[in-house]
């Protein structure tokens, strides 16, 4: 079995919801749709208060090269277009829609039939993906049409679909691979056509045997797509780690996967691409795992974009008494939800509730130079050293020499540290400073 070569940790996978079907979450009376659903510039709202919108109608237009369309996930009347706090409490432009019925745009094909033939050219596919507002659903929410449109001087050789889902607790990708394997593969074929490549791989970790079986069965009809079973190790789903695991290629420092001829997409993105290209359905809903040991009914939902986190709790038996921390995403790379009234985004994959006992940080002690963090770092960095240099406050040259910018913020060092040093917090701070210095440098 394949896996990436350096670093990694083995957290308990806690896939509590692996066997529960994806249920359609009811549409609530109000949707709060954020304009910052993707990496890059937030979209510009194009509706005003009082406008009537349908499901799938464009409500935000891209405001730059790395930006994307935002569509209404509900039908009804626009109640407000205003700044509202996002999950971190920072103000972001939201379109608030009061729901009336569930009227979809006419061009969206809502029949359950699977459409297999792809009569579009590469340009048409990328245009359709852009118009569908598709973003990467693996976590970073990078606009997919930008990723599928590599610079002219670089040629893609492979497409890799990321179904590893190495984050503990999260089972959204596992479920869609079990329930809709063929659609995911058609999505891959569409992207292969857009990129003009002939070979694709789907990487799935061995702890999802049913997903592997379902995908292998569906892939029998698609000889150009190969299912690769991977060892269970975090952070397998990091794109650089996945490329290493499947192709053995190493993405250069500061480089992108396209530098080694690879484009990585999440399986969820692939499903969204299928729906946008074949069914004209923009990205307005995604599979979200609602989980945690303290939650009474852990479930997987198909959730419309713009549902407040607080309302999701109603569907899983209310707020657990001992819940102390809410996390959007998995426990390793997810973001703590500071504002529970914030709404879900396109890229939301999980809503995890944890008790104080589970999340409490232990007392920090001195570094004993055991080098466990060095062993765990999947990027081959030396976290203990970066920690020391970041705390010094002004050693930016040395930090750059130690390649702090290569840190993927996976948290392996923090997870493995026996002295409970908050390595990730400190390295992230230093990385932000160094990145700012690098960005502000005059370009040669």
Partner 1 sequence: MSTTIILTIACLGVLGLLFSVVLYLVAQKFKVEEDPRIEQVESILPGANCGGCGQAGCHAFAENVVKAPSIGSLFCPVGGNAVMSKIAAALGQEAVEKEPMAAVVRCHGTFDNRERVNHFDGYSSCKVMSALYAGDTDCRYGCLGEGDCEDACQFDAIHIDPKRGVPEVDVDKCTACGACVRSCPKGIIELRPKGPKNRKVYVSCMNRDKGAVTRKACIVGCIGCGKCAKVCPFGAITVENNLAYIDFTKCKLCRKCYDECPTKAIWAVNFPIRLPKSATEPHTEPKVEQPVEENKEA
The nearest distance, CB 229 to partner 1, in angstroms, is 36
CA distance 406 to 188: 28
> What is the spatial distance between Cα 251 and Cα 44, in angstroms, rounded to a whole number?
34
The residue (of 210 and 359) whose beta carbon lies closer to partner 1 is 359
422 binds partner 1, rule: CB under 8 A:
yes
1 part of the interface to partner 1, by CB under 8 A: no
**In the numeric block, which tokens belong to residue 312?**
């999701």
Burial class of 369 by CB neighbour count within 10 A (0 to 12, 13 to 18, 19+): exposed
Q: Which residues pair with 81 in a beta bridge?
A: 95
Q: Tell whether residue 359 is a contact of partner 1 (CB under 8 A).
A: yes
**What is the maximum alpha-carbon separation in the chain?**
64
Nearer to partner 1, 85 or 261 (CB): 85
Chain centre distance of CA 192? 20
Angle between helices 267-278 and 181-195 (to 10 degrees): 80
Asked if 328 and 351 count as a contact pair (C-beta separation under 8 A), the reply is: yes
Of residues 236 and 387, the one with the C-beta less far from partner 1? 387
Comparing CA positions, the residue from 220, 227, 238 lying closest to residue 200 is 227
Nearer of residues 218 and 353 to partner 1, judged by Cβ: 353
Q: Least distance in Å: CB of 2 to partner 1? A: 35
Cβ–Cβ under 8 Å, residues 358 and 326: no
Q: Which of 432, 435, 437, 438 binds partner 1 (CB under 8 A)?
A: 432
Is there binding between residue 425 and partner 1 (CB under 8 A)?
Answer: yes
Structure tokens at 56: 């799938």
- Residue 180 Cβ vs partner 1, minimum distance, rounded to whole Å: 35
Nearest-approach distance from CB 30 to partner 1, in angstroms: 20
- Residue 294 structure tokens: 């303290």
Size of the site for partner 1 (CB under 8 A): 16
Q: Is 426 in the site for partner 1 (CB under 8 A)?
A: yes
- Whichever of 370 and 429 has its CB closer to partner 1, that residue is 429
Instruction: Name the minimum Å distance from CB 23 to partner 1.
Output: 30
Q: Measured from the CB atom, is 1 or 432 closer to partner 1?
A: 432
Within 38-97, the residues that bind partner 1 by CB under 8 A are 85, 88-91
Q: Note whether 429 binds partner 1 by CB under 8 A.
A: yes
Q: Which single residue is written with the structure tokens 């706090």? A: 85
Summarize as ranges the residues that interact with partner 1 (CB under 8 A): 85, 88-91, 336, 338, 359-361, 422, 425-426, 428-429, 432
């Amino acid at each position: 079995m394949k896996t990436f070569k350096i670093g990694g940790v083995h957290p308990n996978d806690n896939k509590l919801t692996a066997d529960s079907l994806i249920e359609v979450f009811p549409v609530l009376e109000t949707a709060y749709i954020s304009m910052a659903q993707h990496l890059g510039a937030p979209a510009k709202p194009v509706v005003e208060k009082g406008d009537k919108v349908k499901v799938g109608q464009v409500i935000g237009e891209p405001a730059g090269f790395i930006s994307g369309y935002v569509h209404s996930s509900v039908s009804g009347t626009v109640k407000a277009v205003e700044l509202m706090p996002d999950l971190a409490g920072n103000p972001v432009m939201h379109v608030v829609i009061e729901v009336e019925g569930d009227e979809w745009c006419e061009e969206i094909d809502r029949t359950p039939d699977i459409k297999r033939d792809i009569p579009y050219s590469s340009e048409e596919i990328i245009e359709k993906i852009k118009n569908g507002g598709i973003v990467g659903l693996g976590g970073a929410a990078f606009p997919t049409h930008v990723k599928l449109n590599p610079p002219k001087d670089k040629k893609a050789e492979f497409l890799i679909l990321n179904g590893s889902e190495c984050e503990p607790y999260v089972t959204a990708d596992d479920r869609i691979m079990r329930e809709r394997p063929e659609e995911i593969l058609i999505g891959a074929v569409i992207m292969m056509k857009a990129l003009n490549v002939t070979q694709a791989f789907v990487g799935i970790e061995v702890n999802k045997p049913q997903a592997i079986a379902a995908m292998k069965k569906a892939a029998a009809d698609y000889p150009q797509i190969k299912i690769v079973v991977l060892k269970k190790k975090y952070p397998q789903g990091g794109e650089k780690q996945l490329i290493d695991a499947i192709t053995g290629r190493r993405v250069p420092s500061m480089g992108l996967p396209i530098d080694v001829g690879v484009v990585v997409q999440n399986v969820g993105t692939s499903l969204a691409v299928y729906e946008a290209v074949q069914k004209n359905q923009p990205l307005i809903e995604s599979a979200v795992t609602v989980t945690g040991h303290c939650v009474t009914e852990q479930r997987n939902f198909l959730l419309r974009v713009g549902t407040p986190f607080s309302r999701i709790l109603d569907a899983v038996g209310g707020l657990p008494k001992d819940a102390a921390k809410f996390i959007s995403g998995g426990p390793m790379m997810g973001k703590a939800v500071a504002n529970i009234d914030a709404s879900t985004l396109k890229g939301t994959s999980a809503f995890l509730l944890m008790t104080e006992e589970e999340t409490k940080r232990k007392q920090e002690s001195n570094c004993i130079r055991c080098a466990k963090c060095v062993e765990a770092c999947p990027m081959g960095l030396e976290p203990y050293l970066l920690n020391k240099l970041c705390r010094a406050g002004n050693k930016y040259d040395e930090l750059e020499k130690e390649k702090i910018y290569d840190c993927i913020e996976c948290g392996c060092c923090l997870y493995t540290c026996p002295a409970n040093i908050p390595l990730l917090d400190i390295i992230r701070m230093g990385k932000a400073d160094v990145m700012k210095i690098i960005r502000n440098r005059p370009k040669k």
